[in-house]
């Protein structure tokens, strides 16, 4: 332990702690801006500088380690002046038009300026122009970038795609797409982790709320909304509701209040996905030599983009079952449209997703199987749902719980855990076991695949089928490690679940942003609890799914299922990893 003095008070902290951490142990807040624990510890913004007795110059508290007897002032004239001056310098190059910024009231720079009492700025504005390709899902505004480098680090260290890079030198140093590519040429998974770690509005995902409004306002159009499992864990975070108040029923009521004609749940097609993907796995497992191994889940579009751009030779290992979002669109515009007698061309399927990559999934050219139109029309993120609810002035706290509509609104416990890492595998194993043995395994038989570890593996005995070797990975950096192990032959599995975002969809790039907090685990727990408290915990027991097969699809992997619920992932392409291009 190291003893030091901060602002006249004594702190006792473990060796290797930073001054920032030592101050926090005393409840002393030192403002930070670029700092992101373990990811971006580069002391670049110089907001957190403090004065240390005996040192010639100020030091950044985020990286400077404590030393025995150190005497630190966090609010000395020098420290405070430097903090405020550096903040004003940053503000001089920041487009401070906060009122029309997507991150208004959720911006670390804005908070900091307010916290530090910055009410004027002697430095004239020198804001750079925005220059970004049109038709890009992800949008970068140079005018708002403060060069904290978090996006570069998140993409390098967590996701290993290295889409971003520092560009130029001197006063024009900025962040851009690595290798001077256009963003639209980059092998980006669109996971959105750079967006959720951006302290300002420099990075954002395309806003599609206007498309939703247009559909809602068009009397000719039947609007059908689906909500992904992980959305229910975070939808009200921007609305000031506690987690207890933010119930699933209240979310359904809120969507109905927005004016959607049918409020459905992606959980329904998560169950359907399990039926198809589980059956597909059994088909592959029992005809081993006809397939490439392992089989991968394909419900995460970030992962699908990743494998296609980084390890294209594994594309055929992906399950051909569509994602729950895509299955929902296909079923809504066929089975459901027929059922309610609506022309599917006059139906708009709108998804609310915790995900940024889902926006690109809905544009995949061959996902038009129901009626020729795109199966899903518009995807909005959890953040966009929050903005819509505010814009419509929905008094959410006053709403009572309401159920989803029927029949595409039902989901089992196995479906809701799709939003947490390990959930798809857990759900698939529950049903695969049943499909092979005819009896249900205990619903909590597969706990080894749960939890926040980045790379989990387990073996399960399925009587009559043998040992199934599974792995569950979240985060693309972990994914790359797994893929390289597979390539080298160091690892061997039968079935692998992969989610691009660390912790799975609950930590998705479309979820609400909270500075310095990683909420995937907290939100994931909500899903595991929903599963635990569900009456039905097996996808194959979802009565509406059973009815769908009985009335319409006949059977998993049947002809109709094949047409509506499966897709050829080799039919479209994404920009390739530049290193692979070089080799080719």
Partner 1 sequence: MSRLKIRTKSQAQELVDSMYAGMERRIAASPSGLCPIDITLSFLNLCHAQSCGKCTPCRIGLGQLSALLRQVLDGEADMAALDRIKATARNIADSADCAIGFNAATLVLNGLAGFEDDFREHILHHQCLASHRNSVPCITLCPAGVDVPGYISLIADGRPADAVKLIRKDNPLPTACAYICEHPCESRCRRSMVDDPINIRGLKKFAVEQAGRVPNPPCAESTGKKVAVIGGGPSGLSAAYYLQLMGHQAVIFEKRKQLGGMLRYGIPSYRFPREKLDAEIASILSTGIEAHTGIDIGKDVTIEQLTKDYDAVYIAIGAHTDRKAGLPGEDAGHVTSAVEMLRGIGDWQMPDFTGKKVVVIGGGNVAMDVNRSAVRLGAEKVTCVYRRRQADMTALPEEVEGALAEGVELLTMMAPVRIESDEEGNAVALWVKPQVSGAFDKGGRPSPVNSDLPEIRVPADLIVMAIGQGIESRHFEESGITVKRGNLLAGDDAHIGDEKVFAGGDCVTGPATAIRAIAAGKVAAANIDEFLGFRHEISTDVVLPAPKINSVVPRGRINLTEREASERKKDFDAIEHEMTCLQANLESSRCLHCDYFGFGNFRGGRETKW
170 sits near partner 1 (criterion: CB under 8 A): yes
Cβ-based nearer residue to partner 1, 54 or 365:
54
What order of strands is seen across the sheet that includes strand 59-60?
9-13, 2-6, 71-73, 49-52, 59-60
State in angstroms the smallest separation of the CB of 18 from partner 1. Answer: 11
Which of 69, 168, 372, 464 forms a contact with partner 1 (CB under 8 A)? Answer: 168
Q: Is 152 helix (H, G, I), strand (E, B) or coil?
A: helix
Asked if residue 6 lies in contact with residue 72, where contact means CB atoms within 8 angstroms, the answer is yes
Cβ-based nearer residue to partner 1, 422 or 477: 477
Contacts of 368 (CB under 8 A, 6+ apart): 374, 375
CB 427 within 8 A of CB 280: no
* 176 touches partner 1 (CB under 8 A): yes
Q: Which is nearer to partner 1, 35 or 306 (CB)?
A: 35
Considering only 172, 287, 393, 583, the residue that binds partner 1 (CB under 8 A) is 172
Instruction: Give least dist CB 206 to partner 1, A.
Output: 22
Query: Please, which residues bridge with residue 5 across strands?
Result: 10, 71
Q: How far is the CB of 4 from partner 1 (least distance, A)?
A: 15
If binding is defined by CB under 8 A, does position 131 make contact with partner 1?
Answer: yes
The least distance separating partner 1 from the CB of residue 138, rounded to whole angstroms, comes to 17
Closest separation in Å from C-beta 172 to partner 1: 6
**365 lies in the binding site for partner 1 (CB under 8 A):** no
Interface with partner 1 (CB under 8 A), residue from 22, 44, 146, 473 = 44
CB of 103 to partner 1, least distance (A): 24
Among 75, 81, 105, 173, binds partner 1 (CB under 8 A): 173
Cβ distance to partner 1 smaller for residue 176 or 302 = 176
Instruction: Return the HEC string of 287-323.
Output: CHHHCCCCEECCCCHHHHHHHHHHCHHHHHHECCECC
Contacts of 200 (CB under 8 A, 6+ apart): 94, 103, 107, 108, 109, 110, 144, 145, 146
Distance, in Å, from the CA atom of 495 to the CA atom of 472, rounded to the nearest integer, reads 9
Q: Which parts of 339-463 are beta strand (E)?
A: 347-353, 378-381, 455-462
Asked whether position 154 contacts partner 1 by CB under 8 A, the answer is no
Asked if 167 touches partner 1 (CB under 8 A), the answer is: yes
The rounded distance, in Å, linking the Cα atoms of 476 and 301 is: 12
Query: Residue 149 interacts with partner 1 (CB under 8 A)?
Result: yes
Which residue lies nearer to partner 1 by CB, 135 or 171? 171
Q: 46-75 mask for partner 1 (x: CB under 8 A)?
A: ---------xxx-x---xxx----------
We find the least distance from the C-beta atom of residue 65 to partner 1, in angstroms, to be 6
* Beta-bridge mates of residue 461: 467
Please report whether residue 489 would count as binding partner 1 according to CB under 8 A: no
Q: Does residue 407 have a cis peptide bond before it, meaning omega lies within 30 degrees of 0?
A: yes
In the complex, minimum distance from the CB of residue 152 to partner 1, in angstroms, rounded to a whole number: 8
Q: How far apart are CA 57 and CA 79, in angstroms?
A: 10
Single residue of 169, 242, 290, 400 touching partner 1 by CB under 8 A: 169
# of chain residues touching partner 1 (CB under 8 A): 26
Classify residue 543 as exposed, middle or buried by CB count within 10 Å of its CB (0-12, 13-18, 19+).
exposed
Task: Calculate the alpha carbon distances from 245 to 368, 395, 396 in Å.
Answer: 38, 13, 10
- Contact status: 484 vs partner 1 (CB under 8 A): no
Longest Cα–Cα distance of the chain, Å, equals 80
145/376 with CB nearer partner 1: 145
Binding segment toward partner 1, per CB under 8 A, in 163-171, 206-214, 344-352, 456-464: 163-171
Instruction: State the pairing for strand pair 222-227/174-177.
Output: unpaired
Separation between Cα atoms, residue 141 and residue 420, nearest integer Å: 31
Rounded distance, CA 246 to CA 237, Å? 8
CB of 44 to partner 1, least distance (A): 7
Cβ 457 to partner 1, closest distance in Å? 24
First-last CA distance in the chain? 55
**How far apart (Å, rounded) are the C-alpha atoms in residues 402 and 263?**
10
Q: Per CB under 8 A, which region of 97-105, 172-180, 406-414, 428-436 contacts partner 1?
A: 172-180
Query: ω into residue 260 within 30 of 0, thus cis?
Result: no
Q: Choose among 251, 242, 226, 276: nearest CA to 554.
A: 276
Residue 195 Cβ vs partner 1, minimum distance, rounded to whole Å? 21
Among 129, 287, 393, 583, binds partner 1 (CB under 8 A): 129
99, 100, 135, 171: residue in contact with partner 1 (rule CB under 8 A): 171
Q: Is residue 333 within 8 Å of 347, Cβ to Cβ?
A: yes
Q: Collapsing DSSP states into helix, strand and coil, what is residue 326?
A: helix
Q: Which is nearer to partner 1, 57 or 287 (CB)?
A: 57
166 part of the interface to partner 1, by CB under 8 A:
yes
Q: Which is nearer to partner 1, 57 or 393 (CB)?
A: 57
Query: In the complex, what is the shortest distance from the CB of residue 153 to partner 1, in angstroms, rounded to a whole number?
Result: 8
Give me the 367-386 binding string for partner 1, x by CB under 8 A, dash otherwise. --------------------
| Shortest separation between residue 340's beta carbon and partner 1, angstroms | 51
Residues that bind partner 1 (CB under 8 A): 16, 41-44, 55-57, 59, 63-65, 129, 131, 149, 165-173, 176, 180
């Amino acid at each position: 332990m190291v003893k030091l003095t901060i602002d006249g008070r004594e702190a006792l902290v473990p060796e290797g702690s930073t001054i920032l951490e030592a101050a926090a142990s005393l409840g002393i807040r030192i403002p930070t801006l670029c700092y992101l624990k373990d990811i971006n510890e580069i002391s670049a913004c110089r907001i957190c500088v403090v004065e240390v007795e005996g040192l010639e110059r100020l030091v950044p508290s985020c990286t400077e380690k404590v030393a025995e007897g150190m005497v630190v002032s966090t609010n000395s004239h020098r420290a405070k002046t430097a903090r405020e001056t550096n903040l004003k310098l940053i503000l001089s190059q920041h487009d401070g038009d906060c009122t029309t910024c997507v991150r208004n009231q959720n911006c670390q720079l804005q908070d900091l300026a307010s916290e530090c009492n910055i009410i004027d700025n002697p430095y004239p504005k020198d804001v750079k122009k925005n220059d970004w390709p049109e038709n890009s899902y992800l949008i970068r505004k140079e005018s708002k970038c403060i060069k904290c480098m978090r996006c570069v680090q998140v993409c390098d260290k967590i996701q290993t795609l290295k889409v971003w890079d520092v560009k130029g030198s001197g006063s024009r140093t900025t962040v851009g797409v690595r290798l001077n590519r256009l963003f639209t040429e980059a092998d980006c998974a669109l996971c959105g982790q750079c967006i959720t770690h951006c302290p300002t509005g420099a990075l954002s995902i395309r806003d599609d709320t206007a498309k939703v409004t247009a559909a809602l306002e068009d009397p000719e159009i039947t609007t059908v909304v689906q909500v992904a499992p992980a959305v229910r864990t975070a939808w009200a975070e921007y609305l000031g509701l506690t987690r207890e108040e933010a119930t699933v029923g209240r979310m359904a009521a809120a969507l109905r209040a927005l004016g959607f004609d049918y409020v459905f749940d992606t959980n329904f097609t998560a169950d359907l996905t399990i039926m198809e993907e589980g059956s597909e796995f059994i088909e592959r497992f029992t005809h081993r030599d006809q397939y490439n191994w392992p089989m991968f889940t394909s419900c995460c579009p970030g992962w699908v983009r990743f494998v296609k751009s980084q390890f294209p030779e594994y594309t055929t290992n992906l399950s051909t079952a569509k994602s729950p979002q895509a299955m929902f669109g296909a079923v809504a515009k066929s089975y459901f449209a027929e059922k309610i007698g609506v022309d599917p061309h006059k139906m708009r399927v709108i998804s609310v997703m915790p995900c940024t990559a889902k926006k690109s999934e809905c544009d995949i050219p061959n996902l038009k199987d129901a009626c020729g139109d795109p199966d899903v029309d518009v995807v909005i993120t959890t953040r966009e749902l929050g903005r819509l609810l505010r814009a419509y002035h929905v008094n959410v706290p006053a709403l009572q719980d309401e159920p989803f509509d029927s029949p595409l609104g039902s989901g089992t416990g196995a479906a809701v855990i799709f939003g947490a890492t390990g959930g798809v595998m857990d759900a698939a194993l529950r049903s695969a076991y049943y499909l092979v043995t005819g009896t249900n395994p205990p619903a909590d038989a597969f706990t080894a695949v749960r939890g926040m570890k980045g790379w989990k593996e387990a073996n399960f005995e399925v009587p009559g089928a043998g040992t199934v070797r599974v792995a569950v990975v979240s985060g693309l950096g972990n994914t790359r490690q797994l893929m390289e192990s597979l390539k080298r032959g160091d690892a061997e599995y039968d079935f692998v679940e992969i989610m691009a975002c660390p912790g799975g969809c609950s930590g998705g790039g479309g979820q609400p942003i909270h500075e310095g907090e990683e909420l995937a685990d907290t939100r994931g727990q909500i899903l595991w609890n929903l599963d635990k408290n569900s009456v039905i915990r097996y996808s194959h027991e979802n009565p509406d799914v059973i009815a769908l097969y009985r009335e319409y699809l006949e059977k998993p992997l049947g002809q109709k299922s094949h047409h509506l619920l499966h897709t050829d992932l080799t039919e479209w392409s994404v920009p390739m990893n530049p290193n692979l291009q070089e080799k080719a």
